[in-house]
């Protein structure tokens, strides 16, 4: 290495050092340590004592761990597809050349800018069983008629009728779906990414599809979806990570209740770390969560070979 090269290297490292030091001190070291702590009894105050797989064995036998994991997976199964579909639908609508297009786009994006706590407070009121706007709407004539019809159908299927007013956040049956419904409030970011993808679809593909006699649905299915499949894939990965780490909104809105119906994995992890002072146990949970996210992401990558199409290929 010449003197000039050494000088350039030193310069490069110097400019890189703020990030490098931050990465090592605030990410790499804590990640490595948390792996070690997951095999320890550690309360922050006492030195970590190695206990082998004790934390993992205790987790396997802990019903609250399984409850929180089940809640998280059920929530992900509702919020993830709903979020992807609604945001794709909105992006398709917002991609239409209509007067006031930018206004509509702004309106859809605005909720994403509302701070989490403010959104949670707003939805607490919307979901209020007695005074909430949603239940007030459900009490209006058209909705009452629809619910009546639905209950008739449920009766035929010998299923219990839908009781109103719905205790969105106070009834264990409805609390999790209510939070999944609320998660659609913040789809603005995903919509923007879809919009960028949609605008990247070459016009000539639509034109040739039209010449071949393809209608709107065929164009969507055979041109739009394949062409934006890398974007859908990206949003899917981000949604897997996001939904499996859900914390702030349920923490504010329900505190995990009623009767742990909305007690998520990350909430139990947080409680173990900072309320019950079990850092080792919480670290074991964090690693299980990481493995879960990695496994689901790997499945998504494996399946992507069949449905994600890149333009260069």
Partner 1 sequence: MRIVRALVLAALAAVAGYLLLFGGRTGAGPGRGRVVVRYWEKWTGKEAEQMMQIVDDFNNTVGKEKGIYVQYLSMSNVNQKTLVATAAGVPPDVAGLWDTQVAQFAAIDAVEPLDDLAARHGITADYYKPVYWEGCRYDGRLWALVSTPAAVALHYNKRLFLERAKELRAAGLDPDRPPRTLDELDRYATALDTFTELPGGKKQIARSGYLPMEPGWYLAYTGYWFGADLYDEKTGRLKLDDPKMVRAFEWVKNYSVRLGKDSMTEFRSGFGQFASSQNPFLVGTVAMEQQGPWMANYIENLKPSMNRWRFPKEKEKGLPLASRQANYEWGAAPFPAADPALGDVTVAPFDTLMIPKGARHKEEAFEFIAYVNRQDVSEKLNALHCKNSPLRKVSDAFLRSHPNPYIAVFERLATSPNARGVPPVPIWPEVADELGVAAQRVYLLEAEPAQALADAQKRLQEKLDEFRKRQRIRAGGERE
Give the binding site for partner 1 (CB under 8 A): 41, 43-46, 49, 51-52, 54, 58, 61-64, 128-131, 163, 165, 167, 169-172, 257-260, 271, 274-277
In angstroms, the CA 40 to CA 37 distance is 5
Check: CB of residue 105 under 8 Å from CB of residue 240.
no
CB closer to partner 1 out of 44 and 85 = 44
Query: What sign does the dihedral 74-78-83-88 (CA atoms) show?
Result: positive
Distance from the Cα of residue 177 to its chain's centroid? 14
DSSP string covering 26-92: IIIHHHHHHHHHTTEE--SSSPPEE-TTHHHHHHHT-HHHHHHHHHHHHHHHHHHHHHHHHHHHHHH
Write down the least CB distance from residue 275 to partner 1, Å: 5
Write down the least CB distance from residue 276 to partner 1, Å: 5
Which tokens is 50 given? 């190695």
CB closer to partner 1 out of 270 and 287 = 270
CB closer to partner 1 out of 113 and 133 = 133
Write down the least CB distance from residue 184 to partner 1, Å: 22
CB closer to partner 1 out of 152 and 202 = 152
Check: CB of residue 195 under 8 Å from CB of residue 228.
no
CB closer to partner 1 out of 10 and 49 = 49
Write down the least CB distance from residue 258 to partner 1, Å: 5
Q: 233 pairs with which residues across the strands? A: none
CB closer to partner 1 out of 274 and 307 = 274
What are the φ/ψ torsions at residue 40 (nearest 5 degrees)?
-125, 160
CB closer to partner 1 out of 61 and 98 = 61
Write down the least CB distance from residue 73 to partner 1, Å: 20
In angstroms, the CA 122 to CA 133 distance is 11
Residue/partner pairs of 310-313 with CB below 8 Å, 24 or more apart: 310/230, 311/227
In angstroms, the CA 103 to CA 90 distance is 13
Check: CB of residue 42 under 8 Å from CB of residue 284.
no
Write down the least CB distance from residue 245 to partner 1, Å: 20
What number of CA atoms fall less than 13 Å from residue 44's CA on the CB side? 9
Alpha helices, DSSP H only, in 216-263?
216-219, 225-227, 229-244, 248-253
CB closer to partner 1 out of 41 and 210 = 41
Write down the least CB distance from residue 185 to partner 1, Å: 20
Write down the least CB distance from residue 313 to partner 1, Å: 47
């Amino acid at each position: 290495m010449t003197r000039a090269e050494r000088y350039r290297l030193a310069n490069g490292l110097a400019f890189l050092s703020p990030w490098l030091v931050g990465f090592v001190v605030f990410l790499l070291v804590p990640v490595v340590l948390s792996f070690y702590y997951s095999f320890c009894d550690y309360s922050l105050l006492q030195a970590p004592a190695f206990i082998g797989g004790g934390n993992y064995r205790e987790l396997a036998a802990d019903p609250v761990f399984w409850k929180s994991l089940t809640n998280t997976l059920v929530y992900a199964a509702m919020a993830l597809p709903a979020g992807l579909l609604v945001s794709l639908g909105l992006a398709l609508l917002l991609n239409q050349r209509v007067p006031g297009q930018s206004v509509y786009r702004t309106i859809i994006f605005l909720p994403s800018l509302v701070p989490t706590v403010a959104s949670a407070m707003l939805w607490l009121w919307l979901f209020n069983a007695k005074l909430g706007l949603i239940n007030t709407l459900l009490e209006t004539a058209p909705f009452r008629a629809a619910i009546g019809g639905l209950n008739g159908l449920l009766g035929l299927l010998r299923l219990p009728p839908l009781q109103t007013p719905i205790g969105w956040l106070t009834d264990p049956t409805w609390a999790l779906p209510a939070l999944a419904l609320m998660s659609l409030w913040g789809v603005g970011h995903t919509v923007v990414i879809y919009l960028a993808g949609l605008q990247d679809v070459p016009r000539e593909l639509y034109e040739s599809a039209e010449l071949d006699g393809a209608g709107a649905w065929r164009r969507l299915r055979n041109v739009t979806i394949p062409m934006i499949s890398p974007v859908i894939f990206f949003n899917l990965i981000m949604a897997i990570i996001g939904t499996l780490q859900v914390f702030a909104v349920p923490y504010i809105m329900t505190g995990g209740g009623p009767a742990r119906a909305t007690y998520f994995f990350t909430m139990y992890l947080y409680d173990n770390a900072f309320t019950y002072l079990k850092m080792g146990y919480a670290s074991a949970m964090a690693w299980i969560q990481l493995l879960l996210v990695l496994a689901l992401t790997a499945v998504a990558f494996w399946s992507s070979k069949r449905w994600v199409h890149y333009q260069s290929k």
